[in-house]
Chain A
Amino acid sequence: AQSVAQPEDQVNVAEGNPLTVKCTYSVSGNPYLFWYVQYPNRGLQFLLKYITGDNLVKGSYGFEAEFNKSQTSFHLKKPSALVSDSALYFCAVRDWGLTGGGNKLTFGTGTQLKVEL
């Protein structure tokens, strides 16, 4: 089975400060990990993914995430937050050793990021 936990329902950050949105995962094999962002009344937009290789992954809009296998984490980070980053963020995992289920992603429950002036 595969699962994802986003322990924080909401994260508040001042503009210009660094931000972190936390994600931990559980898989039987090896993970593919993704971050998506959802702006109000919009669909999910792909931000970045970890498949293999370098543990630090850089994505869209200045976001990055670090894969930590020992802590089974994939936290999303940005050095300097913008008010326009305010949105709902989802972490998702796929166990690439899993047979069956197609390309099923298991999503976390989402973290609302609020960046204030």
Chain B
Amino acid sequence: EAQVTQNPRYLITVTGKKLTVTCSQNMNHEYMSWYRQDPGLGLRQIYYSMNVEVTDKGDVPEGYKVSRKEKRNFPLILESPSPNQTSLYFCASSLGTSGRSETQYFGPGTRLLVL
């Protein structure tokens, strides 16, 4: 089944304790992206990757890191989490970035609580 998977689905952590949220897609998609969803703000892009070893900042990159060493994986790293990073996180991927190839497919989400 074609899908985007994220782990963990739920995470409670404490301020300053490094964590990684994994994202993997099995559709051979070139483009991957991370979003965070907050009430009243919709989804905002954190980072994106056009292909392996190519990443760039989105609208709200502060406090986050990413890497794209393999095409299928795009982990989100919080080096020193803070309470304002408490949110619902979504990973998404698309075949390409133009025309009909750019529909993004989303993972199930990771709900993070930073105490």
Interfacial residues, chain A to chain B (CB-CB below 8 A): 4, 32, 34, 36, 42-46, 49, 51, 90, 92, 94, 96, 101-105, 107-110
- Using A44-B43, A51-B100, A103-B96 as known contacts, list a sample of 12 further A-B pairs with CB atoms less than 8 Å apart, ordered by residue number in A: A42-B108, A43-B106, A44-B92, A44-B106, A45-B106, A90-B42, A94-B102, A102-B31, A102-B49, A104-B48, A107-B42, A107-B43
A84 to B48, CA, bound (A): 33
A114 to B102, CA, bound (A): 30
A107 to B46, CA, bound (A): 13
Residue of A nearest to B98 (CB): A96
Is B81 located at the chain interface by the 8 A CB criterion? no
- How many chain B residues sit at the interface, stated as a range, is 20 to 34
Interfacial residues, chain B to chain A (CB-CB below 8 A): 4, 31, 33, 35, 40-45, 48-50, 56, 58-59, 90, 92, 94, 96-100, 102-109
Q: Is the CB of B99 within 8 A of A51?
A: yes
Enumerate chain A residues within 8 angstroms of B59, measured Cβ to Cβ.
104
Enumerate chain B residues within 8 angstroms of A94, measured Cβ to Cβ.
102
Q: Is the CB of B103 within 8 A of A46?
A: yes
Q: Is the CB of A43 within 8 A of B109?
A: yes
A26 to B66, CA, bound (A): 30
